[in-house]
Chain A
Amino acid sequence: MTPTTYRTCPRSGLQFESQAEKLMIVNAVTAVVALLVGGILAIGVVLTRWPTIHWLAADTFYMVLTAHGIDMLIFWIIFFEIAVLYFCASTLLRCRIATPKLAWVAYALMLIGAVMNNVAVFQGNSSVMMTSYVPMMAEPAFYLGLILFAVGALIACFIFFGTLVIAKRDKTYQGSVPLVTFGAVVAAIIAVFTITSGAIILIPTFLMSLGVIQSVDPLIYRTIWWAFGHSSQQINVAAHISIWYAVAAIAFGAKPMSERVSRSAFLLYILFLQLASAHHLLADPGVSTAWKVVNTSYFMYFAVLASMIHGLTIPGAIEVAQRAKGFNNGLFEWLRKAPWGNPVFSGMFISLIGFGFLGGISGVMMGTEQLNMIIHNTIYVPGHFHATVVVGTTLSFMALTYFLIPVLFRREMINPGLAKLQPYLFGLSMYFFCLVMMGAGTLGVSRRHWDMAFNGSAMAYEWPGAAYLLMGLVGVAGIAAIVGGALYIYITVGSILWGRKLDTGAVSAKFTPIPPTAPTLVAQSYGSAGFAAPGTFVLAMVFLVSFVLYYFINWKYLSQVWGLS
């Protein structure tokens, strides 16, 4: 065992083990670099799909779109998630990280994989989109890069599990792990499933690109690839919901309303969230109706139930904490008097609302077997997943970063005024971006399409004028969101490079275990007799009404299209 030290952060009271701390910093910084690359590429995507600008040539556009998808959805998010996993295990449980040397190997594999994949894409012969559906082939390096990255990420997941074992063995805490760590465990379990699925399908595809095997069945590829492609977004859901709970605890000292409810909801994710990869196969041949119905509904929507529970319990926990501080007037004083100027909170709350209203509702709509036919492969789909992955995951990560700059990076944030503004600019322009994209998708506009004017085709289809208008607005909103993303990178990188150094805090050679806390009075007093969060309940009902209306509007729309049987 390598000797190590433990630092207690004077600002947060959190304890960082030095090996784990370095690994978190390096993984998080690499993530931000991937975000920077993906963000620059986003400019090309947005300005090409903006019909009046139509900037890039077709081949460049498809190359840029491929790289944007992979850098954002895989590299940015997973590098950051590895940092989050290490944080949730080593820091929250105050223990050393398991096998730090192996963790560096994992990092190196991920980095080599990410660079290799990017190089392959930018060489121009691997513009196959993130999904790389066979038989369309990319260069072998494209697949090999992804495989190396996946192996690295898988090792990192097992280091996370190993760290949990160390904490248990060294008795650094008593009782159960914190809820946020529990959420991270869920994310890591989903990640193991996801990455294994990716390996199962990408290894034969890699061999096919080398000419070792002749063919990979296109339908089997789609089925297994989506067990990787969709499930990786489920890692994000578990991770960013854990972050929401963490932010509620950090910014308000909020306690989960009920550990039992929140943990059961996380458990539903492990059991059912994976089934959603079926969402991508609803318009496919060869998959039976029963398979589609059971899977696409996460077995009777139990994972949707879980998300609806988290959507209530997180603001509910904040409301309870705020009311305990005396913000008790009316239904919403607790929310009005929340620290809206603190980007850690505002980022998290904008993320939560956007994820639920835009990402959640649209996701269930598109995941309905029959309704899928009116949006499959339209630009509605990226509209939906920008609401989940950008508003949900990315914005949560940004909010958490603002907390980590002084705590993990030990720097004072440069330009706090700009940081205050950033979640609003990024989050709200992203809301608008998603909405107009979904609008264009409802009119049928295709995703992954270079030219909606079909230039060069004898039988061009003329989209309605509203579709052009909406795609123009996609461009405007996209640019605003990119500016918001650039601010985040400027603030983060700037603070790490030039921010005033903050005091390290006490360093010791031994960990200090988490002291057991006495059961609080609040915890014992609110129970089945109370109605502790009425404001949140009203918000939840507003959500439900929007959900029900939007859901049935789409059925109405479907009922008017051609008969299909």
Chain B
Amino acid sequence: MSAILPPSERLWWKHPLDRVEGTWIVISLIWCLIMFAMMVGWHIWGKQNLSTETYKTTPELFTRKTQAMVDKYTVRTETEEKIPVVAPPAGSDVYLIARLWSFWPILELEKGKTYRLHLTSMDYNHGFSLQPANINIQIVPGYEHVVKVTPNQAGTFSIVCNEFCGINHHTMVSRLYVK
């Protein structure tokens, strides 16, 4: 019963290692270093790295910028609430507001083009969960997160809020078109 008793040898730290343990430690360490290298290496060679470009913002400031984009690039409106569908030019800054319990506006992007997508929340934490592509980003109020996105598929995508934001959380879902 020795794990629950003091070690029988006073100088337990001088006790030699068993080869099973030694080998496993070396293998594990190598694997740990491979995983670490993989994460760092993906920043150099990989194509999916979340940008960390962030600014402090306020609901007023962000709404103004979003409204300017909507005024300029709206192509049509959708649903009974007449949510504008916005098709900004490739390479431009696009804005998406998350608030209780909707996203605004609806974006229409082009496949293979890169956009600077600005995300913020007007109130609580929200989630940007792009389906079925399955890209998930946290949206934090007060912070404007600029993510460079390059859609690689055309189609209709959905943006699901996947951070709990109150009683109507389950109705907070929007669309995103890629042409």
Contacts and interface: CB of A to CB of B under 8 A. Distances in A.
A503 interface: no
Nearest to B139: A285
Contact of A450 (B42, B54, B170): B170
B140 A286 contact: yes
A293 B39 contact: yes
Nearest to A314: B3
A374 B13 CA distance: 43
B149 A284 contact: no
Contact of A520 (B8, B49, B158): B8
A124 to B, nearest CB: 11
A178 interface: yes
B29 A305 contact: yes
Interface in A261-314: 261, 281-289, 292-293, 296-297, 300-302, 304-305, 308-309, 312-313
A423 to B, nearest CB: 20
Interface string A515-527: 0111110010011
A517 B28 CA distance: 33
Contacts of A450: 169-170
Nearest to B13: A260
A220 to B, nearest CB: 10
Interface string A533-565: 110110010001001100100010011111111
A218 interface: yes
Contacts of B61: none
B131 A514 contact: no
Nearest to A291: B52
Bin chain A's interface residue count.
35 or more
Contacts of A289: 43, 49, 52
Contacts of A135: 123-124, 141
Given A285-B140, A563-B114, A249 B18 contact: no
Contacts of A123: none
Contacts of A175: 6-7, 10
Contacts of A293: 39-40, 43
B173 A301 contact: no
Interface string A426-470: 000000000000000011101111111011111111011000000
Interface of B: 1-10, 12-13, 15-25, 27-29, 31-33, 35-36, 38-40, 42-43, 46-52, 54, 78-81, 114, 119, 123-125, 127, 129-138, 140-145, 147-153, 158, 160-175
12 contacts: A59-B167, A62-B164, A285-B54, A309-B25, A444-B132, A444-B160, A448-B169, A451-B170, A516-B6, A563-B48, A563-B148, A565-B49
Q: What 5 A-B pairs are tightest by C-beta distance, nearest first?
A: A285-B145, A563-B150, A461-B158, A301-B32, A527-B16
